[in-house]
Amino acid sequence: MGRSILNQVDTGNDLLVKVHYKRNSDRRGLSDGSSGIVWRTGNFTTTTSNATLIVKGQLWGSNAYSDGCGEYVELCNSDGSAVDSSWRSNDGKRYWGASYAGVDSGSIWAKFLFHWHQVYTGINPGTYQIVVGWNTRNGSGGNKPFQVVNPNTNDDARSRQHESHCEIWELQPSQGLTTVQLSQNVW
């Protein structure tokens, strides 16, 4: 099953260890800044040595502000430190696989969808979290991707409570996958 997610031929002996699922329906406003955290999932614990993690998720925002300002998604240790700090450069991998689209309007009804799909290989057993945020390339302040995360009926009476979610698929390394097969250019 894991190979079908990775667009590989299913050999019938893949092993999906578990799926960690995180969700958040708390509505809140974002503060201005050159960087910030939009959502930090709760901790999840992996049990597989040298695991492959497939991370997919999305969150909703509303009210345009700075629009695209360096949105990223990153696998972090439970204390919030980066699993791989080299990914934090201006063009680092934490920006890969993150897409963002919406209506560029300051009206509360203008919604944004921030979606991500990332693959992490060689992950050791431990406790981790997924951090979603923004970091402007030039460090200029007064930015944020949008004003409200998880809008609800207080923002637009025609709407409902929106929620963010993140799935982390933990796969055993015995699949025979290589870094080449998991390269970003395959997607």
Q: Summarize pLDDT for 121-160 with one digit per residue, the tens.
A: 999 999 999 999 999 988 888 899 999 999 999 888 888 8
> Are 70 and 95 within 8 A, CB to CB?
yes
d(C-alpha 164, C-alpha 186), whole Å: 27
Q: How far is CA 122 from CA 43, 54, 116, 164, 182, in A?
A: 19, 12, 20, 27, 12
The answer, yes or no, to whether residue 29 has pLDDT greater than 80, is: yes
* The pLDDT value given to residue 3: 54
Q: Establish if 6 belongs to a structural domain.
A: no
Q: Hey, which residues does 79 pair with through a beta bridge?
A: none
What six digits make up the tokens of 88?
Answer: 């934090």
In a domain, 5, yes or no: no
Compute the mean pLDDT over every residue in the chain, rounded to the nearest whole number: 86
Task: Specify if 4 maps to a domain.
Answer: no
Parent domain of 125: 17-186
Over its C-alpha atoms, the chain yields an Rg (Å, rounded) of 17
Look at residue 163 and tell me if it is in a domain: yes
As for how many domains the chain has, the answer is 1
Is residue 142 situated within a structural domain?
A: yes
33: in domain: yes
Q: For the chain, where are the E strands, in sequence order?
A: 16-24, 28-29, 35-40, 44-46, 51-64, 71-77, 98-102, 111-123, 126-135, 146-149, 164-171
What is the reported pLDDT for 185? 44
E strand or H helix at 4: helix 2-5
DSSP, res 15: -
Cα–Cα distances (Å) from 30 to 20, 37, 41, 110, 158, in that order, read: 26, 9, 16, 16, 22
- For residue 9, tell me if it sits in a domain: no
| pLDDT higher than threshold 70 for residue 5 | no
109, part of any domain: yes
pTM here is 0.83
Q: How far apart are CA 68 and CA 53, in angstroms?
A: 26
Which domain CATH number covers 121?
2.60.120
What tokens were used for 141?
Answer: 């302040």
Distance CA 39, CA 27 (A): 11
